[in-house]
Copies of this chain bind each other. A is one copy, B any other.
């Protein structure tokens, strides 16, 4: 009974990062949990379902994680970290002194790409967050605040550039924008409208015509 699952060779230094080798199975469990959390929610992401998706039996999960909530917590936290990195990277890739509206478009696009196409972790941390147990939610408050701060900063740039009516509260603008982005997972169908188009329209919608 060989239960090899296309594993990487363990002999020739397979770990490119500084972190511990991650063991393969751990990553697979997190991936499966992220997928289930995204598509079916917290309660439906059972330990047995996760195990089956990985190709092991229910009890074996506990060799890699101390509890279900530890898995969920790790997924949600990584989800926020992934969008954060994606948006930050997209902004840094822009030429210095790029106009704020370009920066906004790039940030929107990066957020949507993460949550809709690239990462089950990000979409899981958005969609499943509402009904997570409090213990898990507390575990990613700092990460979430950090991400919010990134957008607060971005929005304030828009005000300074005169692209938003100063009578509107910046808090409102940030909540409007992030709300619309986070909800996109509920209606997005790639064949109907591309992410580039959505990002352009969303950015244009909240900016004053120059």
Interface residues of A (CB under 8 A from B): 40-44, 127-131, 164-165, 167-169, 171-173, 175-184, 186-187, 193, 197-198, 201-202, 204-206, 208-209
Which one of B41, B176, B181, B208 lies within 8 Å of A209 (CB-CB)?
B208
Residues of B within 8 A of A40 (CB): 131
Chain B residues closer than 8 Å to A169, beta-carbon distance:
193, 197, 201
Contact partner of A205 (CB less than 8 A), chosen from B44, B168, B187, B193, is: B168
Given the complex, which residues of B lie within 8 Å of A44, measured CB to CB? Answer: 43, 131
Identical subunits present: 2
Which applies to chain A's interface (DSSP): helix, strand, loop or mixed? helix
The 5 closest A-B pairs by CB, nearest first: A179-B183, A172-B201, A43-B43, A41-B131, A179-B180
15 A-B pairs besides A172-B198, A176-B180 with CB distance below 8 A are A43-B43, A43-B44, A130-B186, A165-B205, A168-B204, A168-B205, A169-B197, A175-B187, A175-B198, A176-B176, A179-B179, A179-B180, A179-B183, A206-B206, A208-B209
A198 — which chain B residues lie within 8 A by C-beta? 172, 175
Contacts of A167 in B (CB 8 A): 204
The 29 listed contacts between A and B (C-beta, < 8 Å) are: A41-B41, A41-B42, A41-B130, A41-B131, A43-B43, A128-B131, A130-B186, A165-B205, A167-B204, A168-B205, A169-B197, A171-B193, A172-B198, A173-B201, A173-B205, A175-B180, A175-B183, A175-B184, A175-B187, A175-B198, A176-B201, A177-B180, A178-B183, A179-B180, A180-B180, A180-B183, A205-B205, A205-B206, A206-B206
